[in-house]
Amino acid sequence: MKITFITPTPPDISSFGVRSLSAYLKQKGYKTEIIFLPGGIESLSDSGDFSYHYDRKVLGQIADICKGSGLIGISFMTYYFDRGVELTRFIKEEMGIPVIWGGIHPTLRPEEGLEYADMVCVGEGEEMLLQLVQTIERGGSYGNIKGLWFKDNGTIVRNGVCPIIEDLDRLPFFDYDLTGHYIYDIEKKGISPLDMNLLKKTMPLLPYFNNKFYITYRTMTDRGCPHNCTYCNVTELARMYRENKGRYFRARSINNVIKELVTTKKKYPFIQAIQFFDDTFFVRTPTEIKEFSNLYKENISLPFYCQGSPNTITEEKIEYLVDAGMVFVEMGIQSGSQKIKKMYRRTESNERIIETTRLISKYRNRLFPPDYHIIIDNPWETDDDLLETLKLLLKIPKPYGLCIASLSFFPGTELYNKAKGEGLIKDEKKEIYRRPFLLMPAYKYLNLLIYLLSFRRFPKWIIRLLGNEKIVKFVSKRDLRPVYKLTYKLIKALEILFKGLNALFTGDFKRIQRYFHKVR
């Protein structure tokens, strides 16, 4: 039996969930195929009116690949919902092959998923999917398969959540075999077999010293997150597994991680760097970090990038990791307001945040300038709350960049339930599914000042001057949205211009080419 996975995905096609499912089924002797449909979400906007559609030619090519499949799995995140719906309708109408949905969004919205798909996978699907495939092969009933939701004569059969896999080491590495892998090729405007050259093109390019960009392999060494943030859907997954007496946060062993990287490095020698995409790689103990650093330095010896949090980063851990090759750290701050941090269930104090950023800054000669994550456009956030965030950012040593996210109410999260209960969400498709968090901040004065700090070397003294409380109160009372909108556009244009000039002067013509061939 052949199983085909289709995954509308961000441009880098890491697709950890689908790659893990495919690898697991292959290990059990099944033939799998994966169709990667990389596409940005930059066309989504505040209006929520834009809905992405695939070209009819592309849908036909997908159908050709899917022929002979006994099951088709479609996995996606919230912002790719429309694409998942379009693919499902096409497959069911044109081919009649059963479709199962999986991924973070269907897991938290299984009833919604069953409006379109035949089945929905709720939770981590490796063992459930194997059991389902075996049942389909022998023509049996799958009414009691844990984690599988479906309709029986119009009635939803709810089979709870998939069994949790406690020992991640027993899973095979992510499926990067290329055999049976296909991708939407932006240059050809169609589906092509994923070969070495296309994989190389789609791997992330992360900044390195001296204006270089390195081809980077992304991986995850754990599942879950040690934090419990109210805006994050991972928190809801953790709750689901706690109710089922499962320990949601788990990490692979150090030896297992190193073995994966050794295998990948040997298979794809063009890889220049590694990015650990775990929510916070620093959650590991100092002993584990030391063990990892020694083995990584000995066996991998490539620059690497990772994420941390104020309560998990320590000088001992940084020292080990920098010595092993770490060149970049990003960290969540989210807000400087105690009220908003309490709402987000972020426990670190501003003093702890400042202490951690100063610690990172101590290594500025060995680390690329860090990125700190900030959330704005919170409907419960006042100008005083934003001012507290601005004051905190002004105390953090430069240079640093900001990853500014507009608060999104992901379905299933605690903040979603709060906003829904208070009537703040009127049209979910427009206000959530088709409105990404990576937008220009709302047109407010304090948002503009925070946005200016996202530029690594923007002078703090200018922000301090413009952030004077009297000036803030004076300006905030006036409707200057057209001015802010024009300012954002001007700054964005200047940013693109300077990046282009820098690429031109440094001879990085490939970067210019990538800009004009952006995946849409």
Q: Are 19 and 277 in contact (CB under 8 A)?
A: no
- Give the residue from 172, 91, 50, 61 showing the smallest Cα distance to 435: 50
The rounded distance, in Å, linking the Cα atoms of 442 and 479 is 12
As a dihedral over the C-alpha atoms of residue 119, residue 123, residue 128, residue 129, rounded to 10 degrees, the angle is 60
The rounded distance, in Å, linking the Cα atoms of 501 and 520 is 24
DSSP 75: E
Q: Are 108 and 236 in contact (CB under 8 A)?
A: yes
How confident is the model at residue 513, as a pLDDT?
62
**With 0-12 CB in 10 A as exposed, 13-18 as middle and 19+ as buried, what is 354?**
middle
How confident is the model at residue 211, as a pLDDT?
81
Let me know how long the chain is.
520
How confident is the model at residue 520, as a pLDDT?
41
The rounded distance, in Å, linking the Cα atoms of 413 and 415 is 5
Which residues on neighbouring strands pair with residue 216, listed in sequence order?
273
Q: What are the tokens at 428?
A: 């979910």
The rounded distance, in Å, linking the Cα atoms of 308 and 317 is 11
pTM of the predicted structure, to 2 decimals: 0.92
How confident is the model at residue 242, as a pLDDT?
82
The rounded distance, in Å, linking the Cα atoms of 18 and 26 is 12
- pLDDT, block means (10 residues), the chain with 520 residues: 95 94 97 94 78 93 96 96 96 94 96 97 96 94 92 94 94 96 93 95 91 94 93 91 79 98 97 96 96 98 97 97 97 97 96 98 95 95 95 95 92 95 94 81 85 87 92 87 80 73 64 54
Write the DSSP string, 389-433. Answer: HHHHHHHSPSS-EEEEEE----TTSHHHHHHHHTT--S-HIIIII
